Amino acid sequence: MSMDGKTVLITGATSGIGKETAKGIASLGATVVFTTRDKERGEKIRQTLIHETRNPNIEVLFCDLASFESIRKCSEEFLQKHDTLQVLMNNAGVVDYHRRISKDGIENMFAVNYLAPFLLTNLLLETLKKSAPARIVNLTSGLHSGTIHFEDLQFNTGFSGMKVYAHSKLAIILWTRLLAEKLKGTGVTVNCLNPGMSRTNLGRDAGWFSAKMFQLLGKAPSVAAHTLIYLASAPEIETITGEYFEKNTVKKTKPETYDMVAARKLWDISANLVK
């Protein structure tokens, strides 16, 4: 399948699943724009991807997803260069095993894994609508669990790295379902996916044992990227929206991921947090 003439924006494509996704989509002929926190590294990856895919239409944008100001500047820079956007891929994420705070004073995993894509997507939504048919693809995890921790969204007490990570990924699923409702009739679809455990650097701060498990048990990032590339490009899912995918297939998720009352409450709080 070809993606000639389409523009795709991917967050966090300097390593792992994001890099392999950027490579796969660039190989299909799309103009690929990806974000990085390290300009020098980002430029090296850009040159590598151009060489590997023989597609010169690959660009890199600086964006610190732990900063709302940086996200706004990134979206502005993108819109200065591009007046269409057919696919937005919210791929970037972090796992913190000790509580950290973003530049805006928010617990870092909630900020980067959930609020960053929430803000970036809303900033680019009008361009996506004008570019319809268009798609939004959100990376979540099979580890999503529990309910939204409304009494303490930022886990000022009871912080546990994996619990808070799972909480941020549950938020992604709820947001995906509500956004799909809000976008009905616009020609813009939004879906989320679980890529499965892969050999990425997400476990680098987990201690040697957990990091080793990521490497031993995880699938290759090129394999994990298959579903992202599928959701970005497959013509047969152009009208499917509000769903959760694993291995290119729609899957049911836990009951709490269908709680639209919680989804609406979370949306309102999120809109206030990102101002």
Q: Residue-wise pLDDT tens for the chain (275 aa)?
A: 789 999 999 999 999 999 999 999 999 999 999 999 999 999 999 999 999 999 999 999 999 999 999 999 999 999 999 999 999 999 999 999 999 999 999 999 999 999 999 999 999 999 999 999 999 999 998 777 778 999 999 999 999 998 999 999 999 999 999 999 999 999 999 999 999 765 455 544 544 445 555 454 556 888 889 999 999 999 999 999 999 999 999 999 989 999 999 999 999 999 999 98
Rounded to 10°, the helix 68-81/116-130 angle is: 20
Please check whether residue 131 lies inside any domain of the structure.
Answer: yes
Q: How far apart are CA 158 and CA 167, in angstroms?
A: 13
Catalytic residue list contains 114: no
The pLDDT score that the predictor gives to residue 216 is 47
**What count of other Cβ atoms lies within 10 Å of the Cβ of residue 31?**
23
- CATH number, domain with residue 51: 3.40.50.720
The pLDDT score that the predictor gives to residue 209 is 43
The pLDDT score that the predictor gives to residue 197 is 63
The pLDDT score that the predictor gives to residue 147 is 87
> How far from the centroid of its chain's Cα atoms is residue 24's Cα?
16
Q: Which of 165, 230, 244, 258 is catalytic?
A: 165
Domain boundaries, position 194: 7-274
pTM confidence score: 0.92
Please check whether residue 187 lies inside any domain of the structure.
Answer: yes
Q: How far apart are CA 14 and CA 37, in angstroms?
A: 9
∠ at Cα 119 (114, 124), nearest 5°?
130
**What count of other Cβ atoms lies within 10 Å of the Cβ of residue 54?**
8
The pLDDT score that the predictor gives to residue 33 is 98
The pLDDT score that the predictor gives to residue 206 is 47
Please check whether residue 89 lies inside any domain of the structure.
Answer: yes
For residue 6, the one-letter residue type is: K
Cis omega (within 30 of 0) for bond into 235: no
Please check whether residue 251 lies inside any domain of the structure.
Answer: yes
Q: How far apart are CA 176 and CA 47, in angstroms?
A: 33
Domain count, the chain: 1
Please check whether residue 1 lies inside any domain of the structure.
Answer: no
Please check whether residue 90 lies inside any domain of the structure.
Answer: yes
Please check whether residue 58 lies inside any domain of the structure.
Answer: yes
